[in-house]
Structure 1
């Protein structure tokens, strides 16, 4: 048949997540590790925010004190999400909007403590936010759209970077 595409395993496979975060260790960490800056705890191959466990295990000699991947990204200013909030509405409701952004960051940290805001730049009628994780940028944009309406654009790249623009 003319014009038909031959399918191979490469063309029929769904997009598999081949992106590897350069800040995540390749082999995993020691069984118990803790972040010395934010007190995130690495246990059973997962990072979590557990202040009680941190206080209990911080003096244990078997516990490894490290910087978690999120704190490393913040230190290096490595961003995977870029959010731009702009418009006249922003000027009049800036404090409420910034509170909404901070609340969304706290909620995201409950699910995944590696999702954080790297930097928040307030430039009058434009607020620029960089995040350690692309999903946090998407969540902030969707939360802004739900709470304040306006126009929302989300653009993804192959490198797992999200660029979110909200305007009203």
Structure 2
């Protein structure tokens, strides 16, 4: 049972405006090296890593920690369906493994929150790539219905459901 539309085409409803600003994406360079005072990730050579921390480094709060503190997600994943209810532990273990693999290489891709209700689970993420990767992995492993919705360049909503 594979309900994903393989002819999916993302429609652009407006022309991209370079003046749009993502408050969590800085255009200025931090001094090299800079450490996140919350999570300990290191900004060096223009990117955030988990490299060893040098003795002297500037301190800031990284964009992922700032998003988490503000509870302002870049990704929302909604999981539901009878199949999900029956296999919740197995599916959530797979999702946590994906998150662990992603964060080991990309410190800015993390979970903000997981809220579980009777009929659905909602996961919020600090980055759009983690949310997209989880959606793709769910369809590859379990099939079902998958839908992506980009609200703008800085937010993705992923909906996955399987009922049988």
Q: Same fold (TM over 0.5)?
A: yes
Matches within 5 A, 1:40-79: 40-50=41-51, 53-54=52-53, 57=54, 60=55, 62-79=56-73
**Normalised by the size of structure 1, how large is the TM-score?**
0.80
Q: CA RMSD in A?
A: 1.9
Q: Which has the higher helix share?
A: 1
SS in structure 2 of the partner of residue 157 of structure 1: strand
> What residue in structure 2 maps to residue 118 of structure 1?
112
Query: Is residue 90–residue 125 contact of structure 1 (8 Å, CA) maintained in 2?
Result: no
Residues 145 and 110 of structure 1, relative CA distance in 2, 3 Å threshold:
same
Aligned equivalent of 1:127, options 121, 129, 133: 121
CA contact (8 A) 1:118 1:131 kept: yes
TM-superposed CA distance for 1:102, in Å, is: 1.1
Q: How does 1:1-168 map to 2 (within 5 A)?
A: 19-50=20-51, 53-54=52-53, 57=54, 60=55, 62-168=56-162
Decide whether aligned partners of structure 1 residues 20 and 48 sit closer, same or farther in structure 2, where only a CA change above 3 A counts.
farther
Structure 1: 4+ residue segments shifted above 6 A: none
> Which structure would you say has the larger RCO, counting Cα contacts within 8 Å and 6 or more residues apart?
2
2:4 aligns to what? none
Unaligned runs of 5+ in 2: 1-14
Q: Which has the larger radius of gyration?
A: 1
Of stretches 69-78 and 27-36 in structure 1, the one that deviates more from structure 2 is: 27-36
* Cα deviations by residue, 1:35-62 (Å, 9 ceiling, x for unpaired): 1222211011110122xx12xx2xx3x3
Alignment TM-score, normalising by the size of structure 2: 0.81
